[in-house]
Structure 1
């Protein structure tokens, strides 16, 4: 098989068919907080070769609406979208609205024939992520992208696939939990990502890893500090060399053919030259959003949560949160349980968030997740309470509602049945990494 790097998390995997993963060719992501870096390398001649598009999950750096909407109509009508089968139809409805009439739901931990030679395998992780295995000609390429998996998950994947030749993996910071003393947390977070890459590589008994997801920079004025702690391809290469494990570094536009030796020297030199010019990158400043609009967005969110979740559970688990909004020079207290949203000049803040990202967080089901991925808040205190909020908002975005009439639906029951093997292991692991 041939693997061509296009951009962040985006490759074209070619056997007797071609699969394009997570297209992102232009524009920004995560409430205009991430930008591509370096720029993509996509040859438009590939439109005639690509047969399938795999979307790993709904985060906007993988499900990039602006890119998908802009693709040629004839291409949209010809290709087939591959997406994980879960408890919701919302993504398949979104594909149709974007002009893709053909989509296939990939079942959890099963192989699906694309041709007589090539099969695909989808393995879900957490409430959102999924990995794609491509099996062809006796070789297996596993695209892990954002999946947080541990040794137990790797054993299950190996049991399903038999072997893994090449792993495609994330290599740098993809969000931050907002701790105020970031200079103490972010270096370790970067190191942990390298450790995770190596653990996945060894646990999957892979021949080679390709670092392919993290070709972005944090591009807002209030998150650009993250860039000082990001891993570069050179960091990954040195780490794998130290462990005497095989790595293939690709620059956008370059290819790797499975089963061959790969010299990363030229790609690493191009990356060094690119990162030497980082001072020319641009950063956005968000506009102010009036408090009345933030309050209205919160009120809509609360009414939805009260409809979908037992209010008694919200009262038990979610305590009020105090937020300092520096660009409005005021402090508010909000309570998901009671619906309260009010100013409080005397309260010490739990969080510091500017008005635009706070408004965005309340306005969309994925908004609070975006706050963390975009690294646009500061956590001062009461982390356990905020973590519970993040868990609830993740469940809400996944449409896993806890009122019985919404929870025990045929879609959900089938989803729980399919995900039961390994679910407890995944749940404990997600709690561990959500820090």
Structure 2
């Protein structure tokens, strides 16, 4: 078995005369102009001879990238889980699609079998085995999942496959949170480091528990080139590496961990090409990615007619969500500011009513806002008109949330705005469940006193994840 790291979440497994490629993305950015591959993927072996199979783990654009898939030979068959709705999209690109049922072996021929396991949030993992060696591609499927799901999947993998030879496991945040939030006094650098440290430890813990012979971190070869987030690249990638965490926390483990870079190759337990991680340098990145940087910071024109269309789309979506939104007790005034323009939309809640209007004076509106959300007008439109369109914002970091004070940030108005700008066909379930508001709040207090807080919910607690160690936070204008 030969495995090559192509780049980001893409690996090429060659086993018994067949080639299996995973999650190809390298032609252009993904999530609009938000994520850019870095360092560049090494794709020579992909195009040298057509691959036999392409595995798509889930629908995020850094894993299912139509622009990259369009460059691949249509003789390749695409493998997806039957639990996902990816088949029509991929068939439209001209590929034959094989849907594999969850946790059931699928025979590729020549003694090679695969398993696809759904995990959490529409993600899946892939196991490839030829009866002698086993490679497990976890991509984003485990390290961001709730603890209970991690435990179940890890135990099932151990029971069914014993000690695997290779595990490729993601360690990236794959979220806008908390780096896209600006609060006075926030230290963006330390906040980014804290978040990444958490996922580095998740990676280390997963590798320790699964005990592969070889463990590799991947699926995080991404840089931000938009000015608001550019400075974070070095903090996210350089401060601490997941392989160093593993070596420090589990010095007695005999798993070999390598911090790989595109072009790395291992074959039958022997490293053939040892391409390893090199620290990110924003000066070098900008020098190498001048055209990409320009594109990431260039915004199209936004006409008054376009804004009016967005206002109507937002009104329609808020009307659908109103039963949920009016459960929020306080009144508020929000501003959606469109990048590269003097235009925006105001959202004002007053009692049981929410009013949405185009803004005539952006500067005045911002001065009185409880929260400003800055994004591209095209991103807002996509979020309101496409299923999963909100991923361009909330996965791809396609907007920044700006609070005027730390006290305003504690109101968590970004959670209300997220509901408003995500496409809905019906109102979300009540935030209080089947309880009355008073009973619900009492239960929350009791849970906190007993230490039974939801670990996954805590992952998105802005106050808890923001570092306020003496550094002002202000996005670029």
- TM above 0.5, yes or no, is yes
Report the Cα offset of residue 217 of structure 1: 1.0
Counterpart of 1:341 (choices 352, 356, 359) is: 356
Aligned counterparts, 1:156-235, within 5 A? 156-177=156-177, 178-180=180-182, 181=186, 182-232=188-238, 235=241
Report the Cα offset of residue 103 of structure 1: 0.9
What SS is found at the alignment partner of 2:181?
coil
Report the Cα offset of residue 67 of structure 1: 1.0
Aligned counterparts, 1:352-431, within 5 A? 352-356=373-377, 357-375=379-397, 376-380=399-403, 381=409, 384-387=412-415, 390=418, 430-431=456-457
Counterpart of 2:278 (choices 271, 276, 279) is: 271
What SS is found at the alignment partner of 1:431?
helix
Write the distance in 1 (CA, Å) between the matches of 2:139 and 2:353: 38
In the alignment, structure 2 segments of 5+ residues that lack a partner are 404-408, 430-453, 462-477
Write the distance in 1 (CA, Å) between the matches of 2:348 and 2:35: 29
Deviations 1:282-301 (A, max 9, x none): 31213143454244235336
Change (3 A) 1:62 1:302: farther
Q: CA contact under 8 A between 1:220 and 1:285: conserved in structure 2?
A: yes
Report the Cα offset of residue 331 of structure 1: 5.8
Report the Cα offset of residue 169 of structure 1: 1.8
Report the Cα offset of residue 65 of structure 1: 1.0
Q: CA contact under 8 A between 2:234 and 2:280: conserved in structure 1?
A: no
In the alignment, structure 1 segments of 5+ residues that lack a partner are 404-427
Report the Cα offset of residue 112 of structure 1: 2.0
What SS is found at the alignment partner of 2:13?
strand
Deviations 1:36-72 (A, max 9, x none): 111121125656352110111111111111111232x
Alignment-derived partner of residue 437 in structure 2: none
Change (3 A) 1:433 1:51: farther
Change (3 A) 1:334 1:13: farther
Q: CA contact under 8 A between 1:173 and 1:231: conserved in structure 2?
A: no
Write the distance in 1 (CA, Å) between the matches of 2:48 and 2:33: 27
Report the Cα offset of residue 20 of structure 1: 0.4
Write the distance in 2 (CA, Å) between the matches of 1:305 and 1:112: 45
Aligned residues: 398
Change (3 A) 1:394 1:327: closer
Report the Cα offset of residue 351 of structure 1: 3.4
Greater radius of gyration (CA)? 2
Report the Cα offset of residue 98 of structure 1: 0.9
Write the distance in 1 (CA, Å) between the matches of 2:119 and 2:318: 24
Question: So what's the TM-score if we normalise by structure 2?
Answer: 0.72
Report the Cα offset of residue 315 of structure 1: 4.3
Write the distance in 1 (CA, Å) between the matches of 2:420 and 2:126: 27
Write the distance in 2 (CA, Å) between the matches of 1:99 and 1:229: 41
Change (3 A) 1:302 1:107: farther
Report the Cα offset of residue 81 of structure 1: 0.9
Answer 1 or 2: which has greater helix percent.
1
Q: CA contact under 8 A between 2:390 and 2:423: conserved in structure 1?
A: no
Q: CA contact under 8 A between 2:387 and 2:423: conserved in structure 1?
A: no
Counterpart of 1:246 (choices 252, 256, 277) is: 256
Report the Cα offset of residue 305 of structure 1: 7.8
Alignment-derived partner of residue 96 in structure 1: 91
Alignment-derived partner of residue 11 in structure 1: 11
RMSD of aligned Cα (Å): 3.6
